[in-house]
Structure 1
Amino acid sequence: MTPPRDPGGDGLGREPLWPILFGIGSIVSGVASNMLSNLAGEVAGWPGYAVAAALAIAGIVFEVRRRRRGPRYRVPEPTDTVSPSADAPTLPYTAGFTGRADQVAAIRDAIKREHAVAVVGRRAVGASSCAVQAANLCRDDFPDGQFYLDLRAGNRRHRPREVLTALARILGTTPPASSRQADLAAAADAIRGQLDGREILLLLDNVDDPAQVRPLLPPAARTCRLLLAGAPGLAGLEGVAASWLDEPDTDDAVRLFAVAGEAAAAGRSRRPDPRTDPVVRRIVELCGRQPRTIGALGYRAARHGWRSSDLYQILRRAVETPPHQRLPYSPAVSLLTDRDTAYAALSPGAKRVYRLMSLGPAALDRPAIAALANRGLTRVSALVDELATAAFLIGAPGDRYEIRPLLAPYARLHLRDAESNWRRVAAQARLVRHLARRAERHAASLPAAVSSAEPDGLLSLSEDPAGWFELHQELLRGVVSGPAGAAEALPRRVRRWWFRLAVALCGWYAHDGRLDEWAEICRTVLATPTAGDRPRIAGWAHNELGVLRRRQGDPYGAAEALNSAVAERRHRGGAQSRYNLGLALLDQGLVDEAIEHLEVSRRHRSRSDRTGHALTDLGLGAAHLARDEPAAAHHHLVRAANAFRDLGDARGYAAALTNLILVHNRLGEHLDAAQAGRAALREYDTVTDLPARAAALLNAGASLLASTPSRAELAQDLLAESRRLRERWRPTAGLGRTLLYLGDAARELGRADDARLLWADAAGVCEAVGDRAGSAAADDRLGSAPG
């Protein structure tokens, strides 16, 4: 019979006793509140009433929180993999052991060869079960006795003296008189003397610290064998052959789930075999293939009739739901977190760091972990070392750490079970804030990022900003892209820093020329509900897409995106979007509309925005030059060059000089044009902006051809380098103009055939990209060329 569905919404049955206890708890809470209120009224008057009211409110809050958290009940389950025998010192038998035949065989072979063997692995991985199983297979090889000692009996780690005392009682030797090293060594020598020459197998289980067994090493020679099972630190002991044990593979984990279920469903109606159910394989992976957890879950699922499909959906929802969203209580999730004995053995601080690290989508360095846990770096370093020693974390390049992939879903279950919604959101906000601040500092030190991002802050000269972004790019992308598609918008505490992180990340992508990743982040931001609710965020994303499409040579797509940005952004952001829109319209040949938007952008900028005004002057200079107004263009470009030079912006200064080359040529000032060209190329040697350098080379080469035809060979070299740079990207009008002037240089050098070929190529490129003026100029040259 299928148990009734519980009101929590997960479809898994609960024990019927808890509703009764809830009712009793409510009654007791009400009676206690009334009694305290009456007593306080008789004794203290109004102060007493206030105290009674406070106590009543505290009781109500406690009751509500307890009900929200849900009942925690324990049912006796045969989940222990080692079943102690009646005579404790003798070797026990395993209960419910299945699978791992290869590992058990390897341990058995090691016992035959070595005098001391250690089965090591992270806690609760099944090292004790495998060691006991292998020892039982070797019983006939040790006729003088097989002895077992649990060094963690009573959930307490035994000290070296207690270990030697217990062994002395088993073997009939003298126990140590004290914890001094001399007494411990004397007791250990007596034990070796008792074991020497006898065929005895001594199994010491749950060894948490190598110091517990170090007095017994090296073991007695000849026929006696010492088998240890415990922590990874045993692998470093001299004279001990270590056998590392990982989690069981998926097939063994499914088999363990099925065996535990068969024990619970004995005598009941036939159930589907979990070994043939593909959903069970996914369930054991979500459980991290932890033997104790899998056994408990298999037993409980069979006992209550939980369907594997429902169980998987509940666990998957608990793992994949964003941390800021609430979920109803689930007994299955509580079962998994309660049975994680390896997690329970950690210190409270390590448990918290482990839980909170599941909020990071990729490896975190120690400062990021410290910010996430809101603890000092020294304390966090010690906790990280504890987690790495216990095999919860693995290292990554750059002194970073991440949760083992197998345990990552389990860590998220612990996070949801142990941390309240408010604490999860607070930790997420701390991580995003830390990453956003560091990303802004590093983006500010990048040489002239092309994006409209405007980060602030300073950076130590000893740090490499591009290298930092390269190292943490997976983490940054994961944090920015994680909320995409979420059912609800980001919490207010996270939203602001998430947006600033996206801005800084796009600044690095723009600087590094990663256009695809840049566009992906912008589309991700637009897809979030947060962008739908906040026009400022959506406007920024549209502005970034406009700048990106303009760089890709798509002025029409850029104008479309930038029009959306202008409609959504206000104040300074709107001025920047109008500036970018003016440049996109200028690329389309709409000069008057471009100048109009650029003038509006200048009026909307703050007076303190010197960089913004310099950019606007630069755009107005280019626009007036396109409208054949060289005097007005010269005025704006000189203002822009002076402003950029005062600001120390080498890229902006070089861009202004590049346009001044053309202005001086139009005004007939060829010497000034040549000087501006040389100065622009010197500036581009100090910055990384290949498209702008290609433009400067084109303008310098064209200026030389117009002013000094006798230097056509130098002009040809400049234009050839510009062509080489431009051919890395998709064809643009700049490539067509470069080919056009290369043809002119070839004509000046007397190579008429090469000139015609270059002009023909220029005509084809200009026609393909929609540059009518360039195509007409190439056709005119071809028509006037001899032959």
Structure 2
Amino acid sequence: MDFRLLGPVRLHAAGKAVEVGEPRRQAVLAVLLIDAGRTVDVDVLVDRVWGEAPPKHVRRSLQAHITRIRRALEQADPDGAQVVRDSGGYRITIRPQQVDVFRFRSAFQDHPTDAAALRAALLLWQGEPLAGLRGPWVERTRTALRHEYVAAVVAWAEAEIRGGNPLATIARLTELADEHPLQEMAAAALMRALYAVGRGADALARYERIRLALRDELGADPGPELVAVHQAVLHHDLRPRHVTPAQLPADVAAFTGRAEQLAQLDRFTGGTSRTSVVVCVTGTAGAGKTATVVHWGHQVRDRFPDGQLYLDLCGYDPGEPMPSTDALAVLLTALLPAGTEIPLMPAERAARFRTEVAARRMLVVLDNAASVEQVRPLLPGTPMCAVVITSRDSLAGLVALHGAHRIEMDRLPAADAVTLLHRLIGERVDAEPEATAALAERCVRLPLTLRLAAEYAVSRSRTPLSRLVDELRAAQRTLDVLSGGSDQRAAVRAVFSWSLRQLSAEAAHAFAVLGRHPAPMFDAHALASITDRPLEQAQRSLDALVRANLVHATGSDRYGMHDLLKAYAAELDDGIDEHTALDGAYRYYIAAIAAAMNCLYPGEAHRRPSVADSKYPIPVFSDAHEARDWLDTELPAVQALVAHAATHGWPEHAATLSALLFRFLEGHQETAALAINGHARDAAHAAGDHIAEANARIALGGLHKQAGRTKLATAEIWAAYSLFGEVADVLGQARAVGNVGMIEESTGRYLPASDYYTTALALFQQAEDVTGQAHMLTRLGTVEVRIGSESAAHHLRQAMELHRQAGHRFGEAWVKIGMGELAATEGRPADAIQLHTEAADLFGQLGHQYSEAWAIDGLGRAEALCGRLSDATNHHRQALGLFRQHGDRIGESWALNGLGEALHARGHEAAARDNHADALAMATRTGCREQIARAHRGLARAATGATARHHHEHAIAIYTELGLRHVVREQVADDNER
């Protein structure tokens, strides 16, 4: 049963609406629902429903309405909600989450930065709140809810903009801003969204509109935030606001006890220390350290307005603990806008992390730390942050050297343990107090074991607790004999074994097998592969394990395990052949990833490792977007699998997963891509697999090239070339040489790039690889356009024909970019616009934003040639945003220069100069010589006198060095004209 207030007042049960009655009765119900679970005084009810002048027999009328509401509730569900008479008033016996208002508020409190959760919460709005009702209280409540709605829409929009999806917000933000013309928060969000999609002029117009409205209506000026957004749009520097992470896991149901530890957490973190606050919560496994910290974190969220970071360091997982350098990458990814470069070296990552949190009041929870060495690089250097670390280790070094506070946790006090059992089992506890106390002691009063025992007791509701205690005592006695004495570990393991008794044989087997699974999360498909069971059976097993509290849900159709339970599961025999089980897991992931990649990039299927048909069920992908979403979701699991394969004797699986994901990881998830390909390279090297090592090195080279790390990229690619040569792999050598050409092209050295592409083309022809030939013809034709070669058109036409033969739409889109550049140089700007637009559309359909950015940037240059300077400016801004989002530093310099050129043509000299200066800095950092020259050329246009000559001479020198004589002639003509 649920209730609706965000629209007409409604009661729903079993999927059907139940009529409440006339508006006055709806108002009575609404007052009770707004205070769900609390008693509303009769006088308050009368005042809210009838106002200041109620009729003479109002209490009789109220009683009649209450009676009819009770009948409606009973009609909907006889065992459901009731209206009860308490001392002085009435109360409706429901949970707040049964009312849409509270569900709406909860979403925005618990997930303030999660676009999907916020989007779902907004769907709860079904029109005007409390529609059809009248009265002062109704109007006050409706107004308050409208304000909450405005804040909610803005929060959702900010989350979408941060996530790279600003276009989805514009319609709703526009409607909101039009409906609330003086609402500055909505106007600021709309301006950010408009700017992000390249509609800077519209953003400025929106500012002028609210500025005039504020002046005319209130005689006031816009506030500082709106002014700051306006200035940022004017100066083309509207970067994403600080990301506000909200990463705490869900609070634990029926949390009980730990009052002393919660008070200590409050005391240690609530002061005015001038040094960073570090609290170590230490103690035995299963004591509820994580649950206590998470529960406390939810209580004090308001004290940390800049967000909460949470990271499981996997210190006691069966696999390896998370290295601190990987942990820093995860933390920085949560803090930084998408596409921000994360440093490679550990010391640089630690310094960047300290910088990012220096001015923020944040809570940082580092869960399951293995050692002081693991967490020391993760400590902020500011008193603004509170760091809470959980560990089974005493972490003495943090206390001694960093002044950390320690909170020790062991068993629950006996009374709290019994209370927890009462909350979980129910009234049976009252009937057998002595058995309950004995059960708590047999569970060594640890929250984890108490919850497992409670679930077992609930599953056997007709069995007296005393008999269950006898069974547990017998199980522990057996383990005591086997272990040579009574200890806490034996007791815990006994509870685990006892809790398995409620499971079917297939669910118990699934639990044991999951203990061997290297990934931190899994779904039914993964379980089916490691148990060699049908998918439906795997899902049944997972459902049973969730009910038994042996696994927990981590998201939509994904699950995880407590590390203590996972370690116990890994000890179980149950006839498991671990090698076969893990091989099944790897083969499933390999087959599923191959299917997703074939959906995304079918024209390159033959370039990826050959994968046998899966004997296990794999997901079905209806389109490219579905395939990409699945890969994004599974990436953490795949990263863990590759790391495990590389260090546990499965180098071939590490190499295969890396090679399959090559195109997906291009321009996407750089940190994960570096880890996956790095593990694959190291595993292949240790195994002496030259081809696998070379493939991984090519992938690493591409990542370094994109980030502007040219020297590292070149070193990896030439190393790959040598490895391919040792095994006479001509196709591999062709790929390596082609990649060297792309490095040269990215830095603007088009003549050597042309030579490398020509060599690689011959090698691809020798290897009879059509897709490779098409790629090289595409790149060769494109650089020939830039150096003015007459062969460009011929090579681009050849490339298009080969890509179409192979059904390679991704390649076709890149050819269109080259053809668009050719059309622009030949004085056909309309054709150039058409070709770049088609390329951008194709990349958009494939979900490959990294490549889409290049098409959009080219579109901006073509529009400038047509005199469509406003459109050109907008598209360069859009490309700039995408390049930054995906960490393409070289692309960023292209877009900045394009933006500067368009702004110069529109007469915005200062803004043009700023963009060219930014382009010069970025291109110098990445070694992109052509864009350095282009930036100098733009700065020369925007300057006068000696400054202009200085930039002009630099541009001439670099263009001459690069052999771009036609550009030199254009530069000289520009100078003469000026």
2:459 and 2:497 map into 1 onto residues whose CA distance is 20
Within a 5 Å distance, the mapping from 1:669-680 to structure 2 comes to 669-680=828-839
Contact 2:816–2:838 (8 Å) recurs in 1: yes
Question: Which of 598, 615, 634 is matched with 1:472 structurally?
Answer: 634
Q: Residue type of the partner of 1:461?
A: S
Q: Residue type of the partner of 1:376?
A: P
2:504 and 2:921 map into 1 onto residues whose CA distance is 71
Structure 1 residue 658 displacement after superposition: 1.6
Question: Which of 533, 546, 554 is matched with 2:709 structurally?
Answer: 554
Within a 5 Å distance, the mapping from 1:181-330 to structure 2 comes to 210=460, 229-230=467-468, 295-296=480-481, 299-300=484-485
Contact 1:756–1:785 (8 Å) recurs in 2: no
Q: Does 1:428 align with 2:588?
A: no
Structure 1 residue 659 displacement after superposition: 1.8
1:133 and 1:722 map into 2 onto residues whose CA distance is 63
Structure 1 residue 519 displacement after superposition: 0.5
Contact 1:538–1:565 (8 Å) recurs in 2: yes
Q: Residue type of the partner of 1:442?
A: A
Q: Counterpart in 2 of 1:62? A: none
How many correspondences in the alignment?
504
2:863 and 2:502 map into 1 onto residues whose CA distance is 77
Q: Counterpart in 1 of 2:737? A: 578
Q: Counterpart in 1 of 2:597? A: 443
Describe the SS at the equivalent of 1:482. Answer: helix
Distance change >3 Å, CA 686–CA 119, structure 1 → 2: farther
Describe the SS at the equivalent of 2:845. Answer: coil
1:105 and 1:668 map into 2 onto residues whose CA distance is 84
Describe the SS at the equivalent of 1:536. Answer: helix
Distance change >3 Å, CA 655–CA 115, structure 1 → 2: closer
Deviations 1:729-760 (A, max 9, x none): 66845444444444443444344555555555
Q: Does 1:587 align with 2:746?
A: yes
Q: Does 1:614 align with 2:774?
A: yes
Q: Counterpart in 2 of 1:363? A: 521
Deviations 1:92-150 (A, max 9, x none): xxxxxx9963267659999xx96875779xxxxx979438999xxxxxxxxxxxxxxxx
Structure 1 residue 479 displacement after superposition: 1.5
Q: Residue type of the partner of 2:511?
A: Y
Q: Does 1:376 align with 2:534?
A: yes
Distance change >3 Å, CA 454–CA 444, structure 1 → 2: farther
Question: Which of 607, 619, 623 is matched with 2:783 structurally?
Answer: 623
Within a 5 Å distance, the mapping from 1:38-437 to structure 2 comes to 101-102=414-415, 106=419, 117=430, 129-130=438-439, 210=460, 229-230=467-468, 295-296=480-481, 299-300=484-485, 340=497, 349-361=506-518, 362-381=520-539, 383-384=541-542, 387-388=545-546, 390-415=548-573, 419=575, 423-437=577-591
1:538 and 1:659 map into 2 onto residues whose CA distance is 32
Describe the SS at the equivalent of 2:622. Answer: coil
Q: Counterpart in 2 of 1:65? A: none
Question: Which of 481, 502, 520 is matched with 2:643 structurally?
Answer: 481
Describe the SS at the equivalent of 2:847. Answer: coil
1:736 and 1:364 map into 2 onto residues whose CA distance is 41
Moved more, 559-568 or 602-611: 602-611
Q: Counterpart in 2 of 1:692? A: 851
Distance change >3 Å, CA 360–CA 741, structure 1 → 2: closer
Q: Residue type of the partner of 1:595?
A: S
Structure 1 residue 719 displacement after superposition: 3.3
Structure 1 residue 484 displacement after superposition: 4.0
Contact 2:893–2:922 (8 Å) recurs in 1: yes
TM-score by length of structure 2 reads: 0.44
Structure 1 residue 407 displacement after superposition: 1.9
Q: Does 1:540 align with 2:701?
A: no
Q: Counterpart in 2 of 1:23? A: none
Question: Which of 586, 590, 597 is matched with 2:756 structurally?
Answer: 597
Moved more, 736-745 or 538-547: 736-745
2:671 and 2:421 map into 1 onto residues whose CA distance is 55
1:119 and 1:435 map into 2 onto residues whose CA distance is 50
2:907 and 2:499 map into 1 onto residues whose CA distance is 83
Question: Which of 514, 517, 528 is matched with 2:669 structurally?
Answer: 514
1:668 and 1:522 map into 2 onto residues whose CA distance is 44
Contact 2:436–2:465 (8 Å) recurs in 1: no
Distance change >3 Å, CA 388–CA 530, structure 1 → 2: farther
Q: Counterpart in 2 of 1:523? A: 678
Higher-Rg structure is 1
Contact 1:297–1:336 (8 Å) recurs in 2: no
Question: Which of 435, 457, 461 is matched with 2:622 structurally?
Answer: 461
Contact 2:514–2:566 (8 Å) recurs in 1: no
2:570 and 2:442 map into 1 onto residues whose CA distance is 33
Structure 1 residue 722 displacement after superposition: 3.3
Deviations 1:190-221 (A, max 9, x none): xxxxxxxxxxxxxxxx98975866xxxxxxxx
Q: Does 1:501 align with 2:657?
A: yes
1:653 and 1:567 map into 2 onto residues whose CA distance is 31
Describe the SS at the equivalent of 2:666. Answer: helix
For the aligned residue pairs, the C-alpha RMSD in angstroms reads: 4.7
Question: Which of 700, 722, 732 is matched with 2:879 structurally?
Answer: 722
1:435 and 1:625 map into 2 onto residues whose CA distance is 42
- Flag structure 1 segments of 5+ consecutive residues without an equivalent: 1-97, 121-125, 135-205, 214-225, 232-244, 248-255, 261-289, 303-307, 313-331
Contact 2:666–2:702 (8 Å) recurs in 1: no
Distance change >3 Å, CA 749–CA 593, structure 1 → 2: closer
Taking only the aligned residue pairs, the percentage that are identical comes to 18
Deviations 1:311-333 (A, max 9, x none): x9xxxxxxxxxxxxxxxxxxx9x
- Flag structure 2 segments of 5+ consecutive residues without an equivalent: 1-410, 444-455, 614-618, 949-974
Structure 1 residue 301 displacement after superposition: 8.6
Distance change >3 Å, CA 508–CA 753, structure 1 → 2: closer
1:565 and 1:739 map into 2 onto residues whose CA distance is 33
Describe the SS at the equivalent of 2:875. Answer: helix
Distance change >3 Å, CA 212–CA 667, structure 1 → 2: closer
Distance change >3 Å, CA 642–CA 390, structure 1 → 2: same
Distance change >3 Å, CA 128–CA 507, structure 1 → 2: farther
Moved more, 725-734 or 683-692: 725-734
1:626 and 1:414 map into 2 onto residues whose CA distance is 65
Describe the SS at the equivalent of 1:364. Answer: coil
Q: Residue type of the partner of 1:413?
A: E
Contact 2:642–2:653 (8 Å) recurs in 1: no
Structure 1 residue 691 displacement after superposition: 4.1
Deviations 1:10-69 (A, max 9, x none): xxxxxxxxxxxxxxxxxxxxxxxxxxxxxxxxxxxxxxxxxxxxxxxxxxxxxxxxxxxx
1:370 and 1:656 map into 2 onto residues whose CA distance is 43
Contact 1:104–1:130 (8 Å) recurs in 2: no
Moved more, 542-551 or 389-398: 389-398
Distance change >3 Å, CA 372–CA 585, structure 1 → 2: same
Q: Residue type of the partner of 2:775?
A: L
Deviations 1:266-304 (A, max 9, x none): xxxxxxxxxxxxxxxxxxxxxxxx9557744764499xx
2:786 and 2:780 map into 1 onto residues whose CA distance is 10
Structure 1 residue 476 displacement after superposition: 2.1
Contact 2:717–2:736 (8 Å) recurs in 1: yes
